[in-house]
Structure 1
């Protein structure tokens, strides 16, 4: 949401999620962030300021609860997909592009077409892969993230991308999510090429681990963000990473693993999370601004 109009301020410890849902039900887009120790509620239009203030007073006084309970059909009338798109459009777009990349591989695209999306172009001569130079085809820095080479690959990456990415985007906004994807994909793909050499690699795993690192480091330093991964998720993801690095996953028949991309993604995401969290704490309502 672009810069809006401040409707009200509330105590930092107050749970404004029900109020944000109420505003959304009334068709009022809002952004809630922390500034100077308070929570600030912004709305998109100046005419909505008074409406938001009135709804907030009624909600605080308990007058609005009966209306919400009396009209459940209205609150659930909005399609879930449309609501998800409104809250996390970048994450959904990344999911769709990942599915497209999977279908490209699964449906047997020609080597010439597949070569358009790998980190470096390649040709097949007999049984030999020959790799060329990237040149000025800079889209290749990002597009390997969308290529997926199996059902488990696309399913698990998509689940984790939605779990981590949507939570970040709902809190920090779509611009931050897009920037995170670009930065983490650049680092993870680049490191995989540097340390693994020319090869056909792909998948959103490097970005997923980057979002994991961002969520952990960022929310630790800026708890108001509220999207720190749970301990079981951290243990599962880091444990899987260690199994991949140890070679256990390849021995079990899961194929070659882009370990450099995973590690680089995790570290770059954690660094970005720490930097943005520190900027948020220092700047109050700038880098820490987000929406519920």
Structure 2
């Protein structure tokens, strides 16, 4: 059996498994502390099932799930995930794993803290040389990735983190995503420091790492369940080119973006060659 993902809502599990059943895909479920795990019995159906899981996460109210429940499941039960606010929360939680959510929450908390004590937070988390007495504080090679300096900045990065990081974590596991976050959150910072100095921050290097990783895996190892639309890769490459051209302003960590993309591409290539 192959696990295709985990859902927090029992009703969501029923809706998805009913739909998969209507498509001729047999599933099994297992209740865990991190939600209900859904397994595909026949490994040959794993890719199709993983794609359907991703589609369900992003539009659980699609009428086809209700129709499937009428055809093969409990036709007396409506698709009811609770109040609209609860629906959104359920989608956020089920669309990501613990590593994605902890990273997202950490960035948001730090951003809020910077509203009240910007100098203290920046001094504590910035790269070597941006503040005094920072020697030997090894965490500084990573922690600038957690700093954001505007609402647009953090909103852009958090949406991409949830969307891409959640897919990677649900498909390949928390350990694989954690390694990618650490590598793509460290090497781009070092490259950015080399070219532009220590005054920078943001998770954009990681985001480019996630997009590069997802693209390679979707091209070279589609059986892992990561599907990335070519248009998204094109959009990120266009943003990278515009950043280097200066059109988007001078406060863009272009070196970190490029280094993050290359890091993701390399790690994706290495992982695509491994057995699951």
- How has the CA–CA distance of structure 1 residues 240 and 63 changed in structure 2, closer, same or farther, with 3 Å as cutoff? closer
Query: What are structure 2's unaligned runs of at least 5 residues?
Result: 4-15, 48-67
Which digits, 9 at most, give the CA deviation of each residue in 1:155-193, with x for residues without a partner?
A: 111111112111111111111111110111011111111
* 2:208/2:264 contact within 8 Å kept: yes
Normalised by the length of structure 1, the TM-score is: 0.68
Match of 1:249, SS state, is coil
Among 105, 120, 134, the alignment partner of 1:112 is 120
Where do residues 27-38 of structure 1 align in structure 2 (5 Å cutoff)? 28-30=36-38
Of structures 1 and 2, the larger Rg is shown by: 1
- How has the CA–CA distance of structure 1 residues 153 and 265 changed in structure 2, closer, same or farther, with 3 Å as cutoff? same
Q: Which residue is 1:53 aligned to? A: none
- How has the CA–CA distance of structure 1 residues 113 and 121 changed in structure 2, closer, same or farther, with 3 Å as cutoff? farther
Quote the offset at 1:91 in angstroms: 1.1
Q: Which residue is 1:46 aligned to? A: none
Q: Which residue is 2:273 aligned to? A: 278
More helix by share: 2
* 2:31/2:37 contact within 8 Å kept: no
Where do residues 57-206 of structure 1 align in structure 2 (5 Å cutoff)? 65-72=71-78, 76=81, 79-80=86-87, 81-82=89-90, 84-85=92-93, 87-105=96-114, 107-120=115-128, 122=130, 131-132=131-132, 134-197=134-197, 199-206=198-205
Normalised by the length of structure 2, the TM-score is: 0.72
Q: 1 CA distance for matches of 2:270 and 2:252?
A: 29
Q: 2 CA distance for matches of 1:72 and 1:223?
A: 33
The alignment's C-alpha RMSD in Å is 3.4
Query: What are structure 1's unaligned runs of at least 5 residues?
Result: 1-5, 9-14, 41-61, 123-130
